Amino acid sequence: MKVDYAAKIPNNVNLAEDRQLTRALESWQPKYLAWWNQLGPKDFANNEVFLRTAVDVGQEGWANFGYVTMPEYRWGIFLAEPKPDRRISFGEHIGQPVWNEVPGEYRFDLRRLIAVQGDTEPASVEQQRHLGKTAPSLYDLRNLFQVNVEEGRHLWAMVYLLHRYFGKDGREEADALLERHSGDPDRPRLLGAFNEPTPDWLSFYLFTYFTDRDGKFQLHALTESAFDPLARTTQFMLKEEAHHMFVGATGVARVIQRTAELMKEHDTDDIRQYGGINLSIIQKYLNFHYSITLDLFGGDTSSNAANYYASGLKGRYHESERQDDHRLLNSTYKAEAVTDGHIDSIEVPTITALNQILQDDFIADCQNGVDRWNRILSEAGITTKLYLPHRGFNRQVGIFADYHITPEGVICSDEEWELKKSEWLPTPDDRSFVASLMVPVREPGKMASWLAPPATGIANKPIDYIYVKL
């Protein structure tokens, strides 16, 4: 499993031994770079950035840190080590050896799962491509670019699978990943949240907290897959994903810390005139990003999800550690539903509720961060608390999409929704206020007015290290 770094495409999959595949990927590479140079962070193409690059897939020391310009980043193909004698851990093929080729009957579904995951990766780079101009510090600018290059690498991970295992269809699918664009009215990205703009850094932190965390849960479900190359590639992607969620969790925490400081200093909740972001605005942004991310889990009851599970294509979060029969043919689950105008729970076959079950795990994980953010507030003596709105709030997908639901989880009329929505979701005024704070800060170690410094620097460097050479 040594990484071949001398190759044009760094990899640990013995690419050199497959001439045809190498040629196909080498012909996709210039298209990828053209996309990066057009729809990625192109204003910073010539700047050296202190980035980590994967050099190994082992637990220890997989990353190498150093200055590199982004178009020169060594995007590569890295699969986690195969587990000897790995067996399928759920569904109707449970106990059988995992697959190293795609079974014909699952070809369509697997290609679709890989294409949907692949589509999100370049989408987020497109969404974030203007943020470099307004970075609140050099430290944050570097973290943005680290996230961007790794999302690019995640695209490579999916494109490798498409090229290696799906022939001509796969190559076409790989090309289409570069042809759809975030927010493009004619050829949008496949999922709603990936067509929303990420116009400011508060949005960026909430996106990386919530939407990259959806990525974590989707990837975890795919690490359980019977299709072993998919399981191994998503396993390694999760290592990179952890940093994206760190950027989000600590980014929001630093905004809240600064807000708390300004509230204490000026003895008021409205700190806008002092260059800070009010807690009420942070809560509205949180409501927005959380609710559009919940939509990414798909329908609450889903025959697709049931089929993926029965076939062994996509498992549950931590499937192997769960104590049940891993077939789910006779079990039921208390799923949320709307009956007679009330939100209720009903018993449904577990296998049809897998999207909601994954979402439940996601929600519990999100709550941990909110609890940490609230500790910052209570330590500052502030009694206001942030919260996750009800899962039915502001939904476009699933059983709640037909209703207006308040953050407290009460179904409300269209009139009440229209009247109250400016208290629950960012208004144009909130957005333009946040935009007005987005002035770039480029002096090493300095932070924008609305943001506290991070606790530590990156890879043992000080906070005032020159993380990007401008």
List contacts with Fe ion (CB under 5 A).
Answer: 121, 151, 154, 212, 215, 241, 244
- Half-sphere exposure of residue 118: CA atoms within 13 angstroms, side-chain side: 27
Coil vs helix vs strand at 144: helix
Quote the CA–CA distance of 124 and 128 in Å, as a whole number: 6
Q: What is the DSSP secondary-structure string of 311-336? A: HTSS--TTGGG--S-SS-SS-EEEEE
* Shortest Å, Cβ 121 to Fe ion: 5
Nearer to Fe ion, 248 or 392 (CB): 248
**How distant, in Å, are the alpha carbons of 96, 200, 362, 365, 392 from that of 196?**
42, 12, 21, 23, 19
Dist. CA 21–CA 161, nearest whole Å: 11
Considering the complex, state which of residue 148 and residue 355 has its C-beta at the smaller distance from Fe ion: 148
CB of residue 245 to Fe ion, shortest distance in Å: 8
In the complex, the smallest distance separating the C-beta of residue 373 from Fe ion, rounded to whole angstroms, is: 20
- In the complex with Fe ion, the residue whose CB is nearer, 119 or 430, is 119
Cβ of residue 117: shortest distance to Fe ion, in angstroms? 8
Contact 304, 450 (CB under 8 A): no
Per-residue tokens: 114: 């890989």
Query: Which one, 212 or 430, has the nearer CB to Fe ion?
Result: 212
Instruction: Using alpha carbons, select from 299, 416, 409, 402 the residue that is nearest to residue 344.
Output: 409
- Beta-carbon contacts of 30 under 8 Å, excluding residues fewer than 6 positions away, are none
Q: To the nearest whole angstrom, how small is the minimum distance from the Cβ of residue 154 to Fe ion?
A: 4
Number of neighbouring beta carbons within 10 Å of residue 85: 7
Tell the smallest beta-carbon distance from residue 124 to Fe ion (Å).
7
> Looking at beta carbons only, is 236 or 424 nearer to Fe ion?
236
The token pair that represents 301 in the structure block? 């009851």
In this complex, which beta carbon is closest to Fe ion, that of residue 194 or of residue 227?
Answer: 194
Q: Token pair for residue 449? A: 């007015």
Q: Which is nearer to Fe ion, 224 or 336 (CB)?
A: 224
Nearer to Fe ion, 193 or 277 (CB): 193
Give least dist CB 155 to Fe ion, A.
8
Task: Report how far residue 344's alpha carbon sits from residue 400's, in angstroms, rounded to the nearest whole number.
Answer: 12
CB of residue 212 vs Fe ion: minimum separation in angstroms? 4
Q: How far apart are CA 62 and CA 55, in angstroms?
A: 5
Q: Say how far apart CA 421 and CA 92 lie, in whole Å.
A: 46
Taking the least distance from each CB to Fe ion, the nearer of 241 and 336 is 241
Minimum CB separation from Fe ion for residue 220, in Å? 13
Distance between CA atoms of residues 342 and 339, nearest Å: 5
* Residue 215 or 276 with smaller CB distance to Fe ion: 215
**Cα 142–Cα 63–Cα 361 angle in degrees, nearest 5:** 80
Report how far residue 284's alpha carbon sits from residue 306's, in angstroms, rounded to the nearest whole number.
Answer: 34
- Whole-number Å distance between alpha carbons of 271 and 256: 12
Shortest distance in whole angstroms from residue 174 CB to Fe ion: 16
Distance between CA atoms of 371 and 387, rounded to whole angstroms?
8
